[in-house]
Structure 1
Amino acid sequence: MERSTFVYDGDCAFCTKCAQFIEHRIPTGARVLPWQFADLDTLSLTEAECEEAVQWVGADGSRAAGPDAIARLLGDSGPLWRVAGAGLRFPPARAAAWPVYRWVARNRHRLPGGTAACSLPQEARERLYGPAGRPTADA
């Protein structure tokens, strides 16, 4: 793999807003893309893993999920962001990051940019909105 990849849930408005922030504010060489448009087989990821948490697949084949993936993304970025990434990897911060990450994941539909669709399981989102996130004819 040539570049590291950060994978997020493209059907979630909150996640998409966060990914846009990354793309516009965090200088990284990693690809930032929704899992719905990623080649999961090439990345050795499953839909279940991507529904569970954001994913990092390093150019070296290393993998991380959730706040560990965010720390890896930040570590692959500009100097100030690398400091933030190192801080997130610091054991006490890492221990606190996982419960916070899980809370955000459960409540992302309530956060700025979130929508009701963010709280639905992937299967329900696809049934209502189709695989590309647009409402289906019968929804």
Structure 2
Amino acid sequence: MNENRKSHPMLLIAIVTTLVVCAATGIVLLQMLQPNHDSWFPKCQFYQSTGLHCPGCGATRAVLALLHGDVFLAVRNNALLILGGPLLVIYIIRQNRRPDFDPRSTLRIISIMVTVLVIFSVARNIPSPTSSPFAPVPVAK
């Protein structure tokens, strides 16, 4: 294994612990303070200024729906996050565990990710931001 890629167990434990604590805190907050128009959850600035959905619009509601066991609503709110997120994590883990890892593959995956983000952004706003099948479910006022 490459000298630069040696694992540091204490650093890995610290990173995993931090991620687990942050995720658990986020889940508790999401359960207690559900996102809606009157909450303190940040609104999408891109949507607020343009009326168009960005790739992240509906992500908070998608995670909340997933926590409540409603996979269909989660996918409806942000399909890219719910379906693509786990695939991306699996890909990154597999790539970094390969002994013949090629750093150039990182550039390829970034290019693919940017392309998918652009296509998803366009798709969720066609034929219009309110009637696209990829647009998040509108929040009840």
What TM-score comes out, normalization by structure 2 length? 0.30
The structure with more strand, counted as a fraction of residues: 1
Larger radius of gyration: 2
What TM-score comes out, normalization by structure 1 length? 0.30
